[in-house]
Amino acid sequence: MCTALWAGDQLRLSTVVIDPGHGGKDSGAVSKDKKSYEKTFTLQISQLIADKIRAAYPDVKVILTRTDDRYVTLDGRADIANKNEANLFISVHINANERTSPNGFSVHVLGQSSNKNRDLYAGNMEIVRRENAVILLEDDYSTTYGDFDPSDPESYIFMNLMQNSNLEQSVRFAELVEKHMQGGPIKTDRGVSQDPFLVLWRTAMPAVLLELGFISNDNDLTTLKNSDERDKIADRVFQAFKEYKAIYDGTLGADAPEGSRRNTGSVNPGQTQTPPARQATGEEKTVYAVQIFAVGKKMDPKAREFMGYTPRIVPAGNLYKYCIGVSDSAAGARKNLTAIKKKYPDAFLVKISGTEVTRVN
């Protein structure tokens, strides 16, 4: 659960957690000359982002998961965000590759690939495995993460179910980061993607993981080693936060349902709502249902993720919302919700009017 500060009749983004990746015994990626460490750059940039937010928004609580060179578990980082009921989680990282040519920045949210033609376990899985392998440094990681094996693609299947109420807002912030990073010190835009990072899976609010350049690339490394350039990178992330907060604060008001007040609703902040569909039959008729998750590609209705349910699939921008337990009444759908939550703990009640899906109390 994440809460937000109310000022008058407006919802305010009140708490952000910034997570400097790695730290302590976990150096993260290391430069070819062994003199520069990912953990150092992530802390420096995270502190700059935090300072900029605090200066511009004294009423916003800004928390860093670490403020010095110490080791924090992936679970511990998510716990900090969850316990402080953050409205936004930003995990800062630096990329690396065995080759020196790859460069640029990328932004990641939790989930299955948004490219329907790309295998989930291809593409970014090298990055995912490297970041998730940090758990192997923990004293008893099997107790915390169960049978999860960062090198085994099968371990990531369950994460497909953990892409529900926060995904749309995560994507919204991710797209803003991408927009503001373009043309900045780190030149190449590698895009926004959905990938199964453990630290994002464990958080209970909109969350993104940023890869701000390649430590293995000479040009990116030169940029990262320059304090003025790091400040420019941090400022671009701050500008994305500034725009996201303006959208967030201005979009949800006193009439927002309780779920939206906790910033866990299914409506994307800033997304223009389509007019309510006229009352008709079939897909245009207003119904109530239980949204179980949203993903960036259209799935087979018979996929095992639906556990035998036949989903109602509603396109929403770049996402598809999957709803089950459809009923003509809110009471009927609410009754279905009780049973559905046993299989999908984060499921919630929605109203479907044409292509508009809104969360209801």
Tell me the pairing of strands 348-353 and 287-295: antiparallel
37 is written with which tokens? 């460490």
What are the residue ranges spanned by the domains of the chain? 5-251, 272-359
* pLDDT for the residue 273: 36
The superfamily in CATH containing domain 5-251 is Zn-dependent exopeptidases (3.40.630.40)
- Residue-level pLDDT at 247: 86
CB atoms within 10 A of CB 9: 9
- Which is nearest to 17 in space by CA: 78, 71, 108, 73? 78
Cβ 360 vs Cβ 255: under 8 Å: no
Q: What's the rounded Cα separation, in Å, for the pair 153 and 211?
A: 21
CATH of 272-359, one of 1.10.3720.10, 3.30.70.1070, 3.40.50.300, 3.40.50.80: 3.30.70.1070
In DSSP terms, 15 is beta-bridged to 61
Full-model pTM? 0.66
Position 215 scores a pLDDT of: 98
| Consecutive 10-residue averages of pLDDT for the chain (361 residues) | 45 91 94 97 98 96 97 87 92 94 92 47 50 52 50 49 65 94 96 77 84 97 98 98 89 35 34 36 77 80 86 84 92 91 82 87 70
Nearest CA to 28 out of 95, 76, 126 is that of 95
18: helix, strand or coil: strand
